[in-house]
Amino acid sequence: MRRFLTVKYAKRPVILLLVVALAATLSPAASAKSAARYPAVFVAGYGGYGQYDKINDYFPYWGMASGDLLASLRQQGYACYAASVDPVGSAWDRACELYAQLTGTVTDYGAAHASRNGHARYGADFTGKALLKDWGTPGGGAEKIDFFCHSFGGTTLRLMAQLLADGCQEEIEAAGAGSVSGLFTGGKTGLIRSMSTFATPHNGTTVLDAAFVLRSLLPAGEKKNVGISNPTGFGAIDYAINMSRLFSNGLGPDTGIYDLMLEGAAEINKNLSAQPDIYYFSYPTDCTRPLPLLGIRFPAGTLTEPVFWPFAVYMGFATGTTPGGIVYGSEWFGSDGIVNTISSRAPFDEPQQPFNPENIEPGVWNIMDTFPGDHASIIGGFMRAGDVRAFYAGHLALVNSL
């Protein structure tokens, strides 16, 4: 039986623990003094984008309706970067793209993986335009990185961290005498200092059970187009083109939608484990409240994006069993309108503990206070702005104090 299924919900929208309280007391000068022992790379969730995408110039993913979050953090002395990965891609494909951006190399999805899943082996070329300089080169640049991941970005990074450490023997053998990506050769521990996830569906989400119409429109998908591209130079148009692959690539293995489902997430988690040299922090999210007489959960005032209302209502009473036998009951009712609170706490079978500032150790998920908001409010709000600058500055201060 799976462990850690008890969820404790924030009773009121209080400022989260010591972290944000610390940020509120820091002057800009004090923040700059404590800032940036290592660069911080922000990884977007499903449907997201980053600084390689034109749309990010006028509607930044990190900050959204409330303005450019990373610009604010840079003013406080933090070196922040926003990665761009396939908005609808699988966790594997996104991990390969993230690695290529960080290292300034050609994206290599792996010969075996590409052949098995019906898409090209190579993707975007980041030669000469790496996200940051000389990552992993002692004395030559960024030796380690602190990662901030929203939603599916957390799954993306967890997979990349596992490949960095252990590699993939199948891809090494499939490459034969040809070149193989450094991501698949393993032995690259120590390059990730910390991993902080915000509303990440570590164990999948039941929201996709509600998306019956969308799922019925998606084919099984045999040939796929993957990666990020900006063919027109117009941000909104290029973003729409990238997102449209959701319908052409379909629903099935090696798609983001499948990896977000309970069974897809369970398959990923079978091959992942917390790395002993990485500090882990997780912010669960919840925008619902209990209705005791009915035994369900219903949207609360902290759900500020109307688009999430029907999903939060559905997830607040949905129970069932997946085709693979995964049972989900009332412990899954709490959500942020997209991701179940229980899932955003931490991977079920990895070491975890409630956050204690006196006991922060690598290799263990530190579960922070539940963020009282919806899936978009934790990154600034999509249609309704929410100021999260102090929240992220506070967590950066915490990470840099380690």
Catalytically annotated residue among 68, 108, 166, 336: 336
What the block records as the tokens of 52 is: 């390689």
Name the residue with tokens 């290292």.
103
Name the residue with tokens 């922000």.
42
Instruction: Give the separation between CA 165 and CA 196, rounded to whole angstroms.
Output: 18
| Whether 9 contacts 372, CB under 8 Å | no
| Whether 351 contacts 359, CB under 8 Å | no
What the block records as the tokens of 367 is: 């579960």
Terminal Cα distance for the chain, rounded: 34
Total residue length of the chain: 402
Catalytically annotated residue among 119, 150, 375, 395: 375
The sign of the torsion formed by the CA atoms of 217, 218, 219, 225 equals positive
375 is catalytic: yes
Catalytically annotated residue among 72, 84, 90, 151: 151
The letter for the amino acid at 137 is: T
Residue 331's contacts (CB-CB under 8 Å, 6 or more residues apart) are: 5, 6, 7, 342
Instruction: Give the separation between CA 102 and CA 99, rounded to whole angstroms.
Output: 5
DSSP lists the bridge partners of residue 66 as: none
Nearest to 348 by CA among 148, 204, 206: 204
151 is catalytic: yes
Q: Is 61 helix (H, G, I), strand (E, B) or coil?
A: coil
Catalytic residues: 151, 336, 375
